[in-house]
């Protein structure tokens, strides 16, 4: 699974370590993370896909690479587990924002700008937590972000589209048969960003839309009316 736990603001591997405690550390179990632009339906159909496997042990990551790599699944390795987990969580928030733009019929210019500035927010928070900047420009960052913000199979983008069309969040979630992880992740990451003092304007607006019932057009207007600055 993926995400940031609401109570502790920890990633899933951090939760595992916290719950198991010394037993986890003494067992020397190698935990790996699989991330990247990969809708399950397309992977099952053996459509060409590329992902990244992350593990603190480069040797273990390399072994898993050999296990999963195939003619239709290209697997890369990384030792930046934190970066993979953070990017996998944050892209869902940006996807909700991108969906809102689509629901408001703002066009491709707005979506492209949102993806780009969303990536900047993801990178800013990730680096502050100790992740490697390069990870956010790889498959688990930029790659998965583009897929989730543009793909028709994206559940988080679907939530955003419906919000942009004027539907209430409770009704949207009730009508969905699967979970849109970005909704709860927005709450967790909002608390995390506030805790460590990282500015994330897009996240702030998505949070206000989801949890304060803010009007979508007002949120977009508030984003665009911020003081201009260097990129």
Helices (H), the chain: 12-20, 22-27, 40-44, 58-68, 81-103, 108-129, 144-150, 155-164, 169-175, 182-196, 201-211, 216-224
Residue 181 lies in a domain: yes
> In the predicted model, what is the mean pLDDT of the chain?
93
Statement: the pTM of the whole predicted model exceeds 0.85: yes
The answer to whether residues 112 and 192 touch, using CB atoms and an 8 Å cutoff, is no
Residue 38 lies in a domain: no
pLDDT score at 115: 97
Any idea which residues carry the catalytic annotation? Answer: 91
Residue 106 lies in a domain: yes
Provide the CATH number for the domain around residue 169. 1.10.1040.10
Residue 90 lies in a domain: yes
Residue 32 lies in a domain: no
pLDDT in tens, 123-134: 999 999 999 999
Domain that includes residue 126, residue range: 82-224
pLDDT in tens, 72-95: 999 999 999 999 999 999 999 999
pLDDT score at 79: 96
Residue 46 lies in a domain: no
Residue 125 lies in a domain: yes
Number of domains in the chain: 1
Residue 209 lies in a domain: yes
The answer to whether residues 47 and 67 touch, using CB atoms and an 8 Å cutoff, is no
């Amino acid at each position: 699974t993926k995400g940031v736990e609401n109570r502790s603001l920890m990633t899933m591997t951090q939760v595992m370590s916290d719950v198991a405690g010394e037993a986890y550390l003494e067992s020397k179990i190698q935990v790996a993370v699989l991330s990247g632009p990969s809708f399950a339906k397309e992977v099952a159909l053996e459509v060409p896909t590329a992902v990244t496997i992350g593990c603190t042990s480069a040797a273990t990551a390399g072994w898993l690479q050999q296990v999963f790599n195939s003619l239709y699944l290209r697997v890369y390795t990384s030792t930046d587990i934190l970066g993979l987990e953070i990017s996998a969580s944050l892209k869902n928030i940006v996807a909700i924002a991108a969906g809102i733009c689509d629901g408001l019929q703002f066009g491709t210019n707005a979506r492209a700008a949102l993806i780009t500035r969303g990536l900047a927010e993801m990178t800013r928070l990730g680096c502050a937590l100790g992740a490697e900047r390069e990870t956010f420009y790889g498959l688990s960052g930029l790659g998965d972000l583009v897929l989730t913000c543009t793909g028709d199979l994206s559940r988080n983008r679907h939530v955003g589209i419906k919000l942009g069309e004027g539907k209430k969040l409770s009704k949207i979630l009730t009508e969905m048969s699967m979970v849109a992880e970005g909704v709860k992740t927005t709450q967790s990451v909002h608390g995390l960003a506030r805790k460590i003092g990282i500015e994330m304007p897009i996240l702030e607006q998505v949070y206000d839309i989801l949890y304060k019932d803010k009007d979508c057009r007002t949120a977009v207007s508030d984003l665009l009316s911020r003081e201009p600055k260097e990129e």
